[in-house]
Structure 1
Amino acid sequence: MSNCYLTPSQIKLRRKNISIMVILIVLIFITFIISMNTGVIKLTPLDIFWTLLGQGDAQQQVILFEFRLPRIVIAVFVGMGLAISGAILQGVSKNALADPGILGINAGAGLAVMLYVSFFPITKAAPVYLLPVLAFIGAGLTAVIIYTLSYRRHEGITPMRLILTGVAVAAGISSAMIVLTLRLSPENYQFVATWLAGSIWGSNWLFVFSLLPWLVILLPFVFVKATVLNVLNLGELTAVGLGASIEKERRWLLVAAVGLAGASVSVSGGIGFVGLIAPHLARQLVGAKHQFLLPTAALLGGFLVLMADTVGRSIFEPSEIPTGIVVAVIGAPYFLYLLARLKE
């Protein structure tokens, strides 16, 4: 929309929202630089600059290009994917507590990935590219189960029933995963334990390229559907009155949410609460219009996961804390706070 069709207050609000997104981009860039220098072997900003230009020594190039950069990029991508997935789920369900981790979608994706990696080695490109597809299938089946169990013929789906069903399904899937771990070798068990804690385990360029197509396709699709999410938030009767095909739009948006969550989980493990925190903070910063809420949530999600991964790698060097645990330290109290407000 051209600025000539906007009121002065709308122009002011738009500039404020754009400024917030620019600030978030700057924060991501700063954290990006700090993360490149985080590890047992330190790289100064000057070392990083010359290495990026191809002037670093062999060790610096291996550390930066083969280990740190892929992991940093994956952290940002995963944060964006989980945040947008959460924003879609909250918008479609009109449920303030909707999140792919809380609803059990991440657990379903994780079960599919765990079953695969438990029996097949992740050593070649083809299996790596297959992981997001398997995660999407697992997440999709879980979403169908949760939707079916939550639905009541005359009531539809209530927010609280959806949350409780998701938590119950996630608990059941987690129990199944624990039982499966009893059959694993010590090496695979260590991997699964790390994965369950939410570690950025797919830290090479193959995993970046396996995740990238899902983001390139699904994120623009969701951004185009921002107006649809705005209409859905007005209520079903109003949405139908405005000409929206409720069920069709809802199904496509849910498919996008499941795809983003599943693909992200396939390379990051069980990182929760990102899809809960990022959309809520974005809503407080830029308001409820999804044209601004979605990109802001994506930036907040990328920043949150990257910051959590950087803190987890640096706080107890040379050991590291899984990213999911760092996020949970922030997310669990925030979830309880939102739950208390919902009850009120």
Structure 2
Amino acid sequence: MAVNVKEYDGNVSNNRHNELTHVTQRLRRVLSKEVDVSVGHQQFLSDIILEAKALLNVSRVSVWLFDDVTNPEKLVNFANTDWEGVITGPLPELTVLDYPNYFRAIVNGETISACDAITDPRTKEFTEGYLIPQQICALLDTAIFQNGLAIGVVCCEGRFEPRDWLQWEVVAAELIADCCSRRLLVHELWQMQQRLTEMAFQDVLTGLKNRRYLMDYARSEMSRHQRSDRPLSLLMIDLDRFKLINDEYGHDGGDEVLKQFARCCNELVRTEDCVCRLGGEEFIILLPETEVAKAMNVAQRLREEAAGLTVQYEGKAIRFTVSIGVADVNLHMPFSQSLKAADQAVYQAKAAGRDQIKLAL
């Protein structure tokens, strides 16, 4: 029976087209899902690489990222279909010194469709340490791109025997790498947003939280403490005669004093306490689950620590004291009222000779 070659070629072409369309639809559906990119790479890439493993019928799929895009020396394995849950401990690495040909291919953006990875010049460097012990024979590795540069690779591994990779499988692997690129970009944007948020709520000089953060945090804590009927206290601290420090040592010397005092505060308080720079030489410490009597004890320790602190600046020793107002936060009034009460207590401490602690009435 005669076979129409054109008809046969057309059927093959249609089959490949249908397969690729099917793969594309499945990958687009996976990528459209909302995922939590605040977790580790293994968690937010797992759906993509598991889909890749099933689509390509391979033994393992993994994602490796360069340590430095402009001058890569390592590939670090951040996601792997063999892993489950949160990954702890050091991640597997490959170095350019051990695998120069492979690195060169990935950096150049090549898709490595190695039928026999043991003989392919780009992958045979893995023979002794990786391929043979794990019985890996075929590799389909595609570069992950961002901004026109390769930032890593998706590695698809077939075990036991060589394999001729079909055209639609190569295209599918490249689509999978693009899916990873997009998810990684979302993660990068999330990290950037976190940094911007942190900057918005952080005092640049001391690294402490700022007034904006304090007001938001205080409202949240007041609501929580009101529901549980638990005490909430605050300390307002003002560095004594700080203008004289600036006059004598310059603003850089004054800045060093503020930074050292901020470090002192952080070392003294608990993890759950909130230390903020209110502005200038004024600081606030919010003490959750703390009665005012215990807050007075914290204030006393802080006053003593400040009095004993010596700040070295340009060969000179700067000493200073602090005046502290302690207030029981009124959970049924605006937080500004408690701040005002603590501020009045600081004024009284200064009027009493400074280096004092006063309780707000």
**Which one has a larger percent helix, Structure 1 or Structure 2?**
1
**Both proteins in one fold, TM over 0.5:** no
TM-score (norm 1): 0.26
**Which one has a larger percent strand, Structure 1 or Structure 2?**
2
TM-score (norm 2): 0.25
Flag the structure with larger Rg.
2
Higher relative contact order (CA 8 A, sep 6+): 1
